[in-house]
Chain A
Amino acid sequence: MRNVRDTARDVQNGDASALSVLEESLAQIRRRNEELNVFLHVDEDGARAAANAIDGRIARGENVGALAGVPVALKDNLCQTNIPTTCSSKILEGWRPPYNATVVDRLLAAGAIPVGKTNLDEFAMGSSTENSAFGPTRNPLDTSRVPGGSSGGSAAAVAADMTPLALGSDTGGSIRQPAALCGLIGVKPSYGLVSRYGLIAFASSLDQIGPLTKTVTDAAMALEVIAGHDPLDSTSLPEPSPSLVAHVEDGVAGKRIGVVRELIDGADADVVASVERAVEALKEAGATIIELSVPEFRLGLSAYYLIAPAEASSNLARFDGVRYGLRVDGDDVTSMMEATRTAGFGEEVKRRIMLGTYALSAGYYDAYYGQALKVRTLTIDAFRRAYHQADLLLGATTPSVAFEFGSKTADPMAMYLSDVFTIPSNLSGEPAISVPFGTGEAGLPIGVQLLGPGRSEGQLFAGARVLEIADGRP
C-alpha cells in the first residue's frame, strides 16, 4: 500500500482514483481482518460514497485537501456520526454517536476517507489490546504476539497495510507503545494541540489523539490536518495548526539531545542497543549528545496510576444504563445501574475504576490523588530543567519488543510497569514520538522515543526523520 504522501498526491493529480485506493484498502482488510481482528466495524458503503465524492470533486478540478483519498482507520474511541462506537466495551455495544469528533470532521475536510473503527483495550485501558471485549488484536508482524495497546488495532491496521494512516489516542503511551511494537511512527502531540472533542475520555488531563503511520512525513501531514484550536474543547491551545511538514527535513545539526538514563534503564539488551545506535546516528547528523539523569521520571508511574484511574472513575460514571448503551434490568434504579456496570465493564476497567474511586475517596484523597498531583508538578519541573540542558530528549519507547499473548495478563502490575518510558510525557503534556530503529528479538521492531518541550512537534519530526533515514528508509 502506498504511503499517505504518495496517495494524496496521486489522487489529487488524478493518477489514482480515491475509489481504487479505497478498494485496495478494503481488499486488504478482507484478506487479513479475520486473522488479526483489527477492525470492529468497516464502513464499506460510507467509505465508497466518500471516495466517489472525492473523485467527483477532483474531476471538477477542485483541490480536495492535504489527505485527498487517503484511507484512514479510527480507533474505536473516536466518535463518528452514526457509525458504531464501542470503546471495545460491551457497555457501549450498538451505540451510534449522533456527532463527529472534531478530528473526524478535520480528516473529512482534508479529503481523507474513514474506513472503519479499530480494536483497542477497553476504554483505552491496557498495553496489549488483550483487554478488548471483542477479542485481542494480533500483531501483523508475528501473530503470536500482541500489537501493543491500547491503540493496538490502529497500529495493526497500518502495519498490515490495511490503511496508510490510523488515529489513536495516547493517555500513558497508547500510541507510541503499539507504534514501537508494530514498527511504525507514533506521535503523542502536545496536550491541547489536537481537540479531544469526540474522543471518549479515559483520563481527560492526559489524553491526546495522534497519528500512526509508516513514515515521518506521513505523520507530520496527518498531524497538521487534525491539530489546531477547537472552540469545542476548553483545553485546546488557542493557536492554529502549526507548520510541520516543512520542518521534517530540518535535521538535527547543532541540536543538543539529552539521552535520559531513566528512559533506558530496565529495558532489554536489544532495546538498549537500538537506542545506542540511534544516539550514534544523531551524533553523525551533527547533534550534540548529553547524558542526563531525571530521577523524577521513575515516580511518574506511581502518579500516573492514581491520576489516570481517578479521572477515569468519574469519566466512566455516565455509563449507567439510563440514556444509551447497555441496560441490565434491576428492581430499582440503583440495582439497574449496578447490574449494567457490572455486566458491561471488563475486569481491567473495573480495576481502574476501583483504584480511582479509592484514590479520590474521603480520607485517602490527600495521601493518593493529592500527592500524585504534586508528583506531577515535580515531573513537569524535571522536564523543564532537562530542557535547559537539551533541546530534545531520547530514550526507548518500550522496555521490550512485542510480547506474547497472555504473558502479562495475570499480573496487572507487570503490565503497568511496561508503560514506564512513555508516561512522563503525558504527565507533562509535552509531545513525544516513537520511531522504529532497528530490530531485536525474533527480528521484531524496536522503537526509540524522542521527547520535546511543549509545541516542539516540528523539531521532533526533524529528529525522527534523521533516525528514519539512518535506519534505511530514505
Chain B
Amino acid sequence: MPGLKREDVAHVAKLARLTMSESELDKFTVQLGQVLDHASDMNALDLDGVVATAHPFGLINVVRDDEVRPGLDHDAVMAMAPDAQDGRFAVPRILGEAP
C-alpha cells in the first residue's frame, strides 16, 4: 500500500466528524502511518482462501419473541437531551437530506 497521505487524514477526519488543526493533521499523518506500516506485515501473507472472522464463536439465529416491554419514561428521556422542544430532541438546522 502507498503511504498514508495528509489529505487522506483530512478526508477521514471529515468522515468521522472531527476537526483537525494543521499541526494535528501532521502529527496524525505520522502516527497513523506508523500503525499502518506495522500492519503491512499482514500484506506479506498469502490470505487467499482464508475466511474472515467477524465473530469469535459461530452462534446463529439469536432472536427474541415479539413481545412489548416497557420502555423509558418520557421525562427521563428528555432530561438527557442537551436541547429539547415539544417533547422532541432539538438540533440546529440540518443542511443536507439523509442519504
Contact = CB atoms under 8 A, between A and B. Distances in A.
Interface of A: 95, 98-99, 191-192, 205, 231, 234-235, 237-238, 298-299, 301-303, 305-306, 313, 317, 320-327, 329-339, 341-342, 345, 350-351, 353-355, 357-358, 361, 364, 367-368, 370-378, 380, 412-413, 416, 427-430, 454
Contacts of A238: 59
Contacts of A370: 52
A321 B72 CA distance: 20
A413 B19 contact: no
A326 B1 CA distance: 38
Given A192-B57, A332-B95, A376-B52, A303 B62 contact: no
B92 A336 contact: yes
B53 A377 contact: yes
Contacts of A345: 18
Interface string B68-99: 00001100110011110000010111111000
Contacts of B4: 358
Nearest to B47: A374
Contact of A235 (B38, B42, B52, B59): B59
A208 B43 CA distance: 29
A380 B58 CA distance: 13
Contacts of A372: 39, 42
Contacts of A375: 42, 45, 47
A446 B82 CA distance: 46
B81 A324 contact: yes
B38 A413 contact: yes
B16 A353 contact: yes
A313 B15 CA distance: 10
B38 A354 contact: no
Interface string B36-61: 10110111010100111111110100
A338 B19 contact: yes
Interface SS, A side: helix
A305 B52 contact: no
Given A98-B76, A305-B38, A324-B80, A374 B52 contact: yes
Given A341-B18, A357-B12, A357-B15, A413 B35 contact: yes
B52 A377 contact: yes
A330 B92 contact: yes
Contact of B36 (A342, A368, A427, A454): A368
A357 B16 CA distance: 7
B13 A354 contact: yes
B26 interface: no
A95 B57 contact: no
19 contacts: A98-B76, A205-B55, A235-B59, A299-B45, A302-B38, A317-B17, A333-B92, A333-B94, A338-B19, A341-B18, A342-B19, A350-B18, A367-B1, A367-B43, A371-B47, A374-B50, A374-B52, A376-B53, A412-B34
A302 B17 contact: no
Contact of A323 (B1, B42, B81): B81
B79 to A, nearest CB: 9
A336 B47 CA distance: 42
Given A341-B18, A413-B35, A373 B95 contact: no
Contact of B17 (A237, A341, A373): A341
Given A235-B62, A329-B92, A341-B17, 10 more contacts: A98-B76, A99-B72, A205-B56, A332-B94, A333-B95, A345-B18, A350-B28, A354-B28, A377-B52, A430-B56
A380 B39 contact: no
A235 B8 CA distance: 34
Given A191-B56, A324-B82, A299 B41 contact: yes
